Amino acid sequence: MVEKGSVVTSENKIKTYRWFFYISLLQLLAFFIVPALVFPIRLVFHIEIISALTLGLVVALFFLLVNVCGLYIDKSRRSLYVSMLIIIGLWFLWAVISWSFIEHMDYLLR
């Protein structure tokens, strides 16, 4: 038999986690929205790409860990967290390939 108190605690935990997820997602999005507002239009695309390959990657790593926590804390939305993990995984793969062969990545350099 489940006690009432433990159900409330669990619900609170999930609610708190979901807010945590949204805040982290917002931070990740802000990392790309802010440069778009600050830098000249001719540079924005390039800044965003460099950002995605450097500091953005750090914010993405944080968000990845948040999603890993979600797999255990908020099991009812596992498919969402798995989707996010796949997207960030692909992002990391792109970053690794880009840095490994940077001298041939004309779209990054020019």
Partner 1 sequence: MLKHHPLLRAIAMNIIAWILFLLVLLALYFAWLREYQMNWGATAQEVSRYMAGDELHENPRFDATRAVQINATPEQIWPWIVQMGYKRAGFYGFDKLDNGGIPSAERIIPEYQNLKVGDSIPSGEYTRGEHKGELFYLLEVVEMEPHESMLWVFLGTPWIGATWSWGLYRVDDKHTILVSRLRQSYTFDSFEAIIAWSFIDTIEILMMRTTLLGIKRRAENM
Binding site for partner 1 (CB under 8 A): 12, 15-20, 22-24, 27, 42-43, 46, 50, 53-54, 58, 62, 65-66, 99, 102-104, 108-110
Q: How far apart are CA 31 and CA 98, in angstroms?
A: 20
Q: Among residues 87 and 105, whose Cβ is nearest to partner 1? A: 105
In angstroms, what is the minimal distance from the CB of 23 to partner 1? 5
Please, are residues 20 and 28 in contact by the beta-carbon 8 Å criterion?
A: no
Separation between Cα atoms, residue 36 and residue 45, nearest integer Å: 8
CB of 103 to partner 1, least distance (A): 4
Whole-number Å distance between alpha carbons of 87 and 81: 10
Instruction: Work out how close the CB of 83 gets to partner 1 at its nearest, in angstroms, rounded to a whole number.
Output: 21
Determine the Cα–Cα distance for residues 20 and 56; give it in Å rounded to an integer.
18
Closer to partner 1 by Cβ: residue 7 or 23: 23
